[in-house]
Chain A
Amino acid sequence: MFRIVDSPILVHELSETTRDEVGAIVTFEGRVRNNNQGKKVLSLEYEAFQEMAEAEGNKIIKEAKELFAIEDALCFHRIGQLTIREIAVWIVVYAKHREAAYQANSYIIDQVKTRVPIWKKEFYDDGDSEWVKCLACAAKGIAHHDHFHHV
């Protein structure tokens, strides 16, 4: 399951499992960092095309379940104003064994960063602000199914 949320992600409540066959849980926290490319960042604003973001995010989760031997995976992404150290994105993968859990978690964050329609505006200490333009992600002609086969 992939969700866009506008309030803090309560990670401790989410990482529990009710499945007895799960032997490995890998979580990833993407946090707001205080600098980017040499500029001091004070806060961030995330914006999403929510309907499409959740559709695309759920495709990624489905792909991860097909590609790796995992039981389940969840991903939550914040929108709105976030300050330094807050969790912007959080992923949990449940598997029988750790290797598939690590790989699936890494796959999910890589795909989220390149495909899910979410944008980030950085606010700097000099009063400036800017929408972050990830050049690698913007490369044209990379359809999502291409990513799918490059794993």
Chain B
Amino acid sequence: MNIKIKYFASLREKSQKSEDLLEINEKQNLSEIYELLRGKYHFPLTAKEIKFAVNNEYVEDEYLLKEHDVVAFIPPVAGG
């Protein structure tokens, strides 16, 4: 199944892109997907240090992804 990934802040800088299109299998959870991409792009943060959002809402790691979901990896926020 195909999903879109969005990168921000330190993750965007490391990967040198804002988005990726990715083919995953249904059994992969968000942490596993993140760790795979972390290996590829050498992200500075571990899966435990970030949060996940799907289609603009925070979700837990166990969230069941669907075709065409838009996944965002959310590094520690620092607004204000």
Interface residues of A (CB under 8 A from B): 30, 46-49, 51-53, 55-56, 77, 88-89, 109, 112-121, 131-135, 137-138, 140, 143-144
Contacts and interface: CB of A to CB of B under 8 A. Distances in A.
Given A112-B79, A113-B77, A120-B79, A140 B51 contact: yes
B10 A117 contact: no
Interface of B: 6, 8-10, 12, 48-49, 51, 53, 56-58, 60, 72, 74-80
The binding surface of chain B is classed by DSSP as mixed
The binding surface of chain A is classed by DSSP as mixed
Contacts of B78: 113, 118-120, 131-134, 137
Contact of B58 (A48, A51, A119, A143): A143
Nearest to A120: B78
A138 B58 contact: no
Contacts of A131: 9-10, 75, 78
Contacts of B9: 47, 119, 121, 131
A144 B78 CA distance: 16
Nearest to B51: A140
Contact of B76 (A52, A109, A116, A135): A135
Contacts of A88: 80
